[in-house]
Chains A and B, each alone.
Chain A
Amino acid sequence: MVTNIMTGLQNISGYIYPNEFELHWGILIVVYPYLTGLVAGAFILASLERVFNVKVLQPVYRLSLLSALAFLFVAPLPLLVHLGHPERSFEMFLTPYTSSAMAMFGFVYAWYLMVVLLLEIWFDYRKDMVIWSKEKRGLMRFVYRILPLGVTDVSEKSILFDNKIGRIITIIGIPSAFLLHGYVGFIFGSVKANPWWSSVLMPIVFLFSAIVSGIALILIIYMVTTMFRLKTMSMPCLNKLAEFLLYAIIVDLSLESLDFIQRLYESEESIKILSEMISSRLFLSLIVSQVILGSIVPMVSLVWARFGRLPDEMRRMAYFIAAILVQVGIFSTRWNVVIGGQLFSKSLRGLTVYKMQLFGLEGLLMTGFLLILPLIILYLLSKLLPPWPDSEAKVQYSQAGDHGLR
């Protein structure tokens, strides 16, 4: 670490406070809002089908829910790994300091996991699990017998009740998803010491970028999984996803531009060092990766693919590439917020550098692991609770009647 910082010294321009030589929030803290954003975005997409009755999105409804859950499991891990004393992390639950934005994360997270996602998934899959518990053999049969928690009634009435509750949970879930990620934005936006972060728009920008990344993620996962399952993709569904993705990008880019223009126009004390940072240290990740590759190119290609006259294969290809670019763009957005906010000195007199490590708890490999882990969890979840439209269990009333298992 020492050598890392010593080499860093040579790359410092201007004056920074001596305690600023070490960057305190590294790539793991970039991963954290990125993952949380994917959770919120995927859930909001699921709610489109459930609450707003966008029926063409049916094929990705369950997939969105499971993806949200898989990513939510991993979301707090980068924070935990990054703590100086992870063993004390439970103090945030036991003795939270209520004025701290960070202290509330545990509760928002718990609420979202327990009340929103797990409940909704349970209500959504309960009928299926009851039926699978009769169809499957061996261990899986046992698992499916436990998971409905004894509620094995699959009568028409009980399924209607499940649907109703599921809908209510989703309605509660939308503001919760907004809360989850808007709140992550607030963690940064409320730091008045940092002119790069301190902005009322931060929670809103975070939210819309979350929606962008969530839709793009589901688009990617849906295309890849359907391809590997050798099924045909639902083109209306893909078109709808692409449309929503396009609208979300437009809103997101507008908000970010607004923030940017406002800063430039107000031209406060910090503008000199921030402009210097954008044109040097952040040029690649902000201008090239976030704005051009991550927003403008996907936007143009989505418009072209969705509204142009293209064969379906070309269209799918364009959607896929746009979605991948969007992921790169949103990751850069998180990078630019978290790392960018620490590259300039709070003395507003100098710039520093971030040297990423390869190994170690806060290194690149760990980051890669944390980004792949949710996909592994999603794979396992999809084995347990298949989210595919064709695998949904159908109740055969002629056989099962309305008695369920016994």
Chain B
Amino acid sequence: MKKKKSAPLSRRDFLIICSKALPFTGLLFFPFTANRLLFGQEIDEYDPTQHDYAMGIDIHKCIGCGRCADACKKENNVPKEPYYFRTWVERYIISTEGESYVDSPNGGIDGFPDLKGDIDILRTFFVPKLCNQCANPPCVQVCPVGATFASRDGVVLVDEKYCVGCRYCIQACPYGARFLHPVKKVADKCTFCYHRLVRGLLPACVEVCPTQARIFGEVGLRSSPLRRFLRFNDVVVLKPALNTKPKVYYAGADGEVR
């Protein structure tokens, strides 16, 4: 091949080229907007096979404000009563005697009451809980009609038009992450805000967390914040002995957390 001697581009030339290219940059976005522009439709380009979601929770960062649990209820129309939660925050108090006390009044949405009594506190921490989106989900295994299923992107979902409301999945979940929706009479649980994921948004709880205690992202993507979280932290999952293979990873979780 003939070698061409290339002089370094002067700043002036560079800017001229850039300014010429500018009108065409819009074209780059055309494929994404074409459907909407031409047909007034949302583009149906979400490909679940290209994703594999997981969540990390940094216990050290959680301040127990409960905004995640609140945001979740608002985003997903979860009934307001204090016994239906897709996500909630638990407070752990470990005494010097090694006793642990746990509470989660209204899932932590209204904050936590002052400590009463004379517990000699050794340490305390907050633990946000949610569906662990297990890779080996016991809830999916037991559903008699296959209404609850693991999607290809690794999220366990419930088809509410199919669920018969037998509640076997609720019994099978070791984490108490499921409930029966009191109005729809079907099983309900965290979906990682699937309706947001398909639009490229973060789950509501992750979005509102003021301390970034919740980290969300793709397992398979090197650049994802979750990958970074998994790389720099010693993580554990809850109840590993049950072999459910959770995809919610906890950094800094105490042995008492279950």
Interface residues of A (CB under 8 A from B): 1-2, 5, 15-22, 24-25, 79, 82-86, 88-89, 91-92, 95-97, 99-103, 105, 187, 190-194, 341-342, 345-349
Q: Is the interface of B mostly helix, strand, loop or mixed?
A: loop
Complex: chain B residue closest to A102, CB-CB? B144
Is B235 an interface residue, CB under 8 A from the partner?
A: no
Q: Are B164 and A193 in contact (CB under 8 A)?
A: no
Judged by a CB distance under 8 angstroms, whether B197 is at the interface is: no
Pick from B7-15, B102-110, B213-221 the stretch touching chain A.
Answer: B102-110
Q: Is the CB of A95 within 8 A of B145?
A: yes
Asked if A24 and B88 make an inter-chain contact with CB atoms under 8 angstroms apart, the answer reads: no
Whole-angstrom distance between the Cβ of B178 and the nearest chain A Cβ:
7
Q: How far is the CB of B1 from chain A (nearest CB, A)?
A: 61
**B252 beta carbon closer than 8 Å to chain A:** no
Instruction: Decide if B165 is an interface residue (CB 8 Å cutoff).
Output: yes
Q: Contact check, A89 vs B164: say whether CB atoms are below 8 A apart.
A: yes
> CB distance A100 to B185 under 8 Å?
no
Whether the Cβ atoms of A103 and B144 lie closer than 8 Å is yes
Contact between B176 and A92, CB atoms less than 8 A apart:
no
Smallest Cβ-Cβ distance to B129: which chain A residue:
A17
Query: How many A-B Cβ pairs are below 8 Å?
Result: 129
Contact indicator B141/A99 (Cβ below 8 Å):
yes
CA distance A85 to B167 in the complex (A): 11
A347 CA to B100 CA, complexed, in Å? 12
Q: A88-B164, A100-B141, A347-B102 are in contact. Are A191 and B172 (CB under 8 A)?
A: yes
Known: A22-B179, A193-B242. A97 touches B146 (CB 8 A): yes
Question: Which chain A residues border B104 with CB–CB below 8 Å?
Answer: 15, 17-18
B residues near A79, Cβ cutoff 8 Å: 166
Option from A20, A97, A105, A347 in Cβ contact (under 8 Å) with B145 = A97
Additional A-B contacts beyond A24-B167, A193-B172 (13; CB < 8 A):
A2-B81, A18-B83, A18-B104, A19-B178, A83-B165, A83-B166, A84-B166, A88-B164, A92-B144, A97-B145, A190-B142, A193-B173, A341-B171
State the Cβ distance, B41 to closest chain A Cβ, in Å: 31
CB of B141, distance to nearest CB on chain A (Å): 5
Q: Are B186 and A84 in contact, CB atoms less than 8 angstroms apart?
A: yes
Please indicate the chain B residues that have their CB under 8 angstroms from the CB of A84 in the complex: 163-167, 180, 184-186
Residues of chain A with a CB closer than 8 A to B106's CB: 18
Report how far A24 CA is from B182 CA in the complex, Å.
12
Q: How far is the CA of A99 from the CA of B140 in the complex (A)?
A: 9
Where the two chains meet, the residues of B that have a C-beta atom closer than 8 Å to any C-beta of A are 81-85, 88, 90, 101-104, 106-107, 129, 138, 141-146, 162-168, 170-180, 182, 184-186, 242, 258
Closest 9 CB pairs of A and B: A84-B165, A17-B176, A84-B185, A193-B174, A21-B83, A97-B146, A103-B144, A15-B102, A102-B144
Q: Which residue of B lies closest to A347 (CB)?
A: B258
Q: How far is the CA of A342 from the CA of B171 in the complex (A)?
A: 8
Query: Do residues A22 and B138 form an inter-chain contact, with CB atoms below 8 A?
Result: no
Tell whether, in the assembled complex, residue A102 and residue B174 are in contact, meaning their CB atoms are under 8 Å apart. no
Assembly CA distance A18 to B166 (angstroms)? 20
- Supply 23 A–B pairs (Cβ within 8 Å), ascending by A: A16-B176, A17-B88, A17-B129, A18-B82, A19-B178, A20-B176, A22-B83, A24-B180, A79-B166, A84-B164, A97-B143, A97-B145, A99-B141, A100-B146, A103-B144, A103-B145, A191-B172, A192-B174, A193-B138, A193-B173, A341-B171, A342-B171, A346-B176
CB neighbours (8 Å) of B85 from chain A are 18-19
Query: Closest approach, in angstroms, between the C-beta of A202 and any C-beta of chain B?
Result: 14
In contact, A91 and B164 (Cβ under 8 angstroms): yes
Is the Cβ of B145 less than 8 Å from the Cβ of A92?
A: yes
Q: A350 — nearest CB in chain B belongs to which residue?
A: B102
Give A16 to B179 CA distance when docked, in angstroms.
Answer: 14
B242 partner, pick from A1, A85, A192, A341, beta carbons under 8 A: A192
* Residue of A2, A22, A25 contacting most chain B CB atoms (<10 Å): A22
Contacts of B258 in A (CB 8 A): 347-348
Q: Among the listed A19, A85, A95, A191, which residue makes an inter-chain contact with B83, where contact means beta carbons less than 8 Å apart?
A: A19
Whole-angstrom CA separation of A187 from B167 in the bound complex: 12
Nearest chain-A residue to B146 (Cβ)?
A: A97
CA distance A86 to B103 in the complex (A): 36
Least CB separation from B257: chain A residue: A347
Q: Are A85 and B144 touching (Cβ within 8 A)? A: no
Q: Are B171 and A25 in contact (CB under 8 A)?
A: yes
- By a CB distance below 8 angstroms, the chain B residues around A86 are 164
Distance, CA A348 to CA B145, complexed state (A): 30
Say whether A18 contacts B88, CB under 8 Å: yes
Inter-subunit contact B176/A345 (CB<8 Å): yes
User: With a CB–CB cut-off of 8 A, which chain B residues contact A194?
Assistant: 171
User: Nearest B residue to A97 by beta-carbon distance?
Assistant: B146
Please state if A100 and B143 are interface contacts (CB–CB under 8 Å): yes
**Most chain A CB inside 10 Å of its own CB: which residue of B81, B164, B179, B180:** B164
Identity of the chain A residue whose Cβ is nearest the Cβ of B85 in the assembled complex: A18
Please name all residues of chain A whose beta carbon is closer than 8 Å to the beta carbon of B177 when the two chains form the complex. Answer: 19
State the CA gap A5–B180 with chains docked (Å): 14
Asked whether A102 lies within 8 Å of B166 as measured between CB atoms, the reply is: yes
A92 to chain B, nearest CB (A): 5
Q: Which of B102, B143, B166 contacts A349 (CB 8 A)?
A: B102
Name the contact of A96 in the complex, choosing from B144, B168, B242 (C-beta under 8 A). B144
